Structures are given as structure tokens and as C-alpha cells.
Structure 1
């Protein structure tokens, strides 16, 4: 019986470590990329993605490239902060999870709207260009964001 209890305890500890790594890894990724949105490098880096998107290309008719990037940076930093408060405010963290889901759905849409996602020198799709590689990782980040949403709801219900 003791061996079973020890094994269960270790499994719970590993699950806790995994949950913390998933949530706060997501926070770090979103915050870091959000902070970069205030640089000219990142603002111009996302420009081809936005310009080719039927869902977002209109924003450059209203905002400059750098202004839109800064607005996106504020949204991403706020999303990261909302995700981070889960131990204290699960409902607030849920808002961050939903925002993250929206961000990742938007960036994943670029996979079908951005030219040259496939690396032409290697025969094109399914060999991904650096832009395609940058975008495809958002599939995993979307999954983590969905998990954080479910976990925040569960934590709120347990209160």
C-alpha cells in the first residue's frame, strides 16, 4: 500500500511540475514576444504576415506598422499577466487563456494566408520556411492555452 501511495504522490508531483511548466512557459513566451512588439525589428517582421491576411490587412489602413505592433504588444503582455495570476484569480486567468487562444488562432491563420510558408529551395511545402516554422509551433501553444482555460475553470469550481 505504501508503494502505491508513494507512486501516486510522485505522479501528482510530476503533474504539478508539468502544469507549472506549461502555464508559466506560456506566460514567458507570450510576454517575451509581446515585449519584442515594441521594436522596429519585430514590427517589420510581422508586417508580411498581417499584409497578406484577409482578416487583418485592414489594420494598416488605420495604424502604422509600428503602432499596430505596439498595440499587439500591449495585448500580448496583458494576456501573459492575466495567465500568470491563476493561483490567486482563476477567473481572471481564464480571460487570459481565452485571449491566448484568440492570439494563437489568429497567428495560425497566417499558415494559409502567407506566401512562401514552404521553403522553395527545398521543394516547397511540407518543408517549412523559417516563417512557417515560426508559425507552426503555435499549434502546441494553442493546445497549452486551451489546457490553461480548462484548468482555470476547474480551479474556480474547486474554490
Structure 2
């Protein structure tokens, strides 16, 4: 029994020592996700895919020139090209907005990663990640495409998420992670004072 108790104690000690490593790994994960997703915003299929979220958002719809739900007539499947629909997206400011959003998202990821060495920069980065994920989670309320529509099966509405809704809900994990990183940066800043 003493060997088991010793083993359990050792596992707990090692696990407890991993806290700082885990927080740095969260920073790296946020960096990878944000640089990758932000980089994808420079591809037309990704820019076209976020249109329902942006067009229905009371906080972002002003970036587009066309009003919701007009975009529904100009949806493209991932990888599809249609000259008329593409031109609509050009006129809607779809691609320009997406490029700007991509730069912002990548910047937030980089700032968060820099928190490993510079807690003040990491504090700003993780704070921006928190604000962005709250904005993203608001799409669950503002985007009709986030919920399964009533198409006759009897399975629709809350809590049944579509692919778009499932894409958004994962931001709850990013939000929680960014709060942990923000708290770590704040503790490190206060410790230096």
C-alpha cells in the first residue's frame, strides 16, 4: 500500500509541476489556431463561408455593402467558383473584410504567444482573444444558420447545432483558455512590480 501511496503522490507532484507548461501550451495552441484560421481568411472559400455570420451580426454587418439575407442567393460551396456569385462577393466587400479580419486574428495569436516572454504583450493579446471569442459566440444568437432548420423531421432549433453552430461553439474552449492565459499574464505583471 505504501508503494501505491508513493506512486500516487509522485503522479500528483509531477502533474502539479506541469501548470506553467500547460499555460504555455495553451498560448501555443491559441497561436496555431489563430494564425491558421486567420491565414485562411485570405482564401475566397473561407471569406465566403463567414458571410452568414457577419451579415447577421449587429456588430459587424456594416462591413458589408449588401444586407442580410440577400447573401443566401449567392452562397458557394467550399471550392466552388461561379463568376456571378464571386462578383457579388466582390461588391459586398466579402474578401476585403475577410483579409482584414485575418490580419487581426493572426495578430491576436502572435500577441498571445509573445506572452511566454513578455507578459504585458500577452495580456493584451489574450484580452483581444477574449473579446473576439465573445463576439464569435454571439453568432449563436444572431446567425440563423447556426441552428438546424425545421425541414420536417421534427429535429430542429435549440439545442441542435448545424455545422456552422458547431464551428462557433468550440470558441467556449478558446474563451476559457484565454482567460487562464490572461490571469497568468496579470500574475506575472504584478509579481514584477
Q: Fold conserved (TM > 0.5)?
A: yes
The Cα of 1:68 is off from its aligned counterpart by: 0.5
SS at match of 1:66: helix
1:82 corresponds to 2:115:
no
Contact 2:23/2:180, CA 8 A, preserved across alignment:
no
Q: What is the root-mean-square deviation of aligned Cα atoms in Å?
A: 2.1
The Cα of 1:51 is off from its aligned counterpart by: 0.5
Contact 1:79/1:96, CA 8 A, preserved across alignment:
yes
Contact 2:34/2:106, CA 8 A, preserved across alignment:
yes
1:11 corresponds to 2:15:
yes
Q: Distance in 1 between matches of 2:11 and 2:165?
A: 41
Mean Cα deviation higher: 5-14 or 74-83:
5-14
Contact 1:85/1:92, CA 8 A, preserved across alignment:
yes
Change (3 A) 1:117 1:8: closer
Structure ranking higher in helix proportion: 1
Mean Cα deviation higher: 50-59 or 116-125:
116-125
Contact 2:52/2:145, CA 8 A, preserved across alignment:
no
2:70 corresponding residue in structure 1? none
Mean Cα deviation higher: 117-126 or 26-35:
117-126
SS at match of 1:116: helix
Using structure 1 for the length normalisation, give the TM-score. 0.89
1:135 corresponds to 2:139:
no
Change (3 A) 1:67 1:17: same
1:158 corresponds to 2:191:
yes
1:111 corresponds to 2:115:
no
The Cα of 1:40 is off from its aligned counterpart by: 0.4
1:41 corresponding residue in structure 2? 45
Q: Which runs of 5+ in 1 are unaligned?
A: none
Q: Which runs of 5+ in 2 are unaligned?
A: 1-5, 66-90
Q: Distance in 2 between matches of 1:55 and 1:150?
A: 27
1:71 corresponds to 2:75:
no
Number of aligned positions between the proteins = 157
Deviations 1:80-100 (A, max 9, x none): 110111122100111101110
Larger radius of gyration: 2
